[in-house]
Amino acid sequence: MQAQDLSVGQVAKRCGVRVSALHFYESKGLIYSSRNSGNQRRYSADVLRRVAVIKAAQKMGISLAEIEQAFSALPKHRAPDKKDWQALSSGWHRQLSNRIDYLQRLRDLLTGCIGCGCLSMGKCPVYNPDDKLARQGPGPVILDNK
Amino acid sequence: MQAQDLSVGQVAKRCGVRVSALHFYESKGLIYSSRNSGNQRRYSADVLRRVAVIKAAQKMGISLAEIEQAFSALPKHRAPDKKDWQALSSGWHRQLSNRIDYLQRLRDLLTGCIGCGCLSMGKCPVYNPDDKLARQGPGPVILDNK
DNA sequence: CTAGAACCTCAAGTTAAGTTAAGGTAAAGG
DNA sequence: CCTTTACCTTAACTTAACTTGAGGTTCTAG
């Protein structure tokens, strides 16, 4: 058993997320904590990796629901090891590749298509870049200006 | 002037969107309509392309707000022509390319990184795929919505 | 010992992109 | 003419991923 000695505030700071997000992740079953005598959350160090993985997955366009699903394959009562995390990431790798392929097709069709006469609902490849490969759509807009 | 002879229902059907979505786009200023004697919407044919472009842009991960911005460069009182649409699409092409690059970097780092010991908030490239590459150019594109 | 920072729970608010519902009018077809 | 669609408006609901606020408790530093 690892020491359970990180407070929410410490975890939040080290992960770059708000305390409220940690509460939220916990409510979704993505992370766990124990409580001290005063009912405050205490985390073991492996929560840091969990949160890191959550954030990385989100950047890939993976939803919390999917992350939760993937996490359910992790060992429940020991800290996940290298192999556990890698199994997880290989599924996401495939998914991300599909999304990239999809976006590339979209991009390559774009310039020719929006301007030309073909952008009509029925037949244009930009309008219908067949989604068989990338069912999950464009994903969230992760890049954005600020 | 083009004939204003398409009803919402017809446009919805030909575009594959719900009538409610057309109302919604109109409320956002993305499309326009005139009214017949009974106060029903009537559209000219070029609304079809507008909607097609909206949907294509959404597949690229562009928000309605950004689409609205882009549309504001279109001529207000004549139907946009090929050149108008192409100007529009070239901006999005850059944006999409940046996003693809970003996702590729993420993917290429993924397999090695989630499993290895480095996935920590401070230094891991998956956690912080620093955006120097994606940020270049006049194109906006930053990471981390919000 | 005490002030203030950090924490707790629960409820409600936020944004995006629409959808659904309610109550009423217009148009189209037999 | 009458009925069935199609349409109108406004308002409220939906999902995701959190954040904010209220009201109250616990920790920690001086």
C-alpha B98/C-alpha A121 separation (Å) is: 27
Q: What does DSSP assign to residue A23?
A: H
Residue B37 lies in a domain: yes
Q: Which of A80, A109, A127 is the last residue of a domain?
A: A80
Structure tokens at A104: 């590339």
Query: What does the pLDDT look like over A99-146, one tens digit per residue?
Result: 999 999 888 888 777 666 565 444 555 555 444 334 444 544 443 322
Q: How confident is residue B125, by pLDDT bands cut at 50, 70 and 90?
A: low
Strands A4-6 and B41-44: unpaired
Average pLDDT over residues B98-122: 75
Q: Which residue of B has its CA nearest to A117?
A: B82
Query: What does the pLDDT look like over B46-73, one tens digit per residue?
Result: 999 999 999 999 999 999 999 999 999 9
Examine the domain organization and report whether B76 and B112 are in the same domain: no
pTM of the model: 0.82
The answer for B 20-39 residues in CB contact with A (under 8 A) is none
Residue B85 lies in a domain: no
- Give chain B positions within 8 Å (CB) of A59: 106, 129, 143
Examine the domain organization and report whether B59 and B103 are in the same domain: no
Cα dihedral B96/B99/B103/B105 (nearest 10): 120
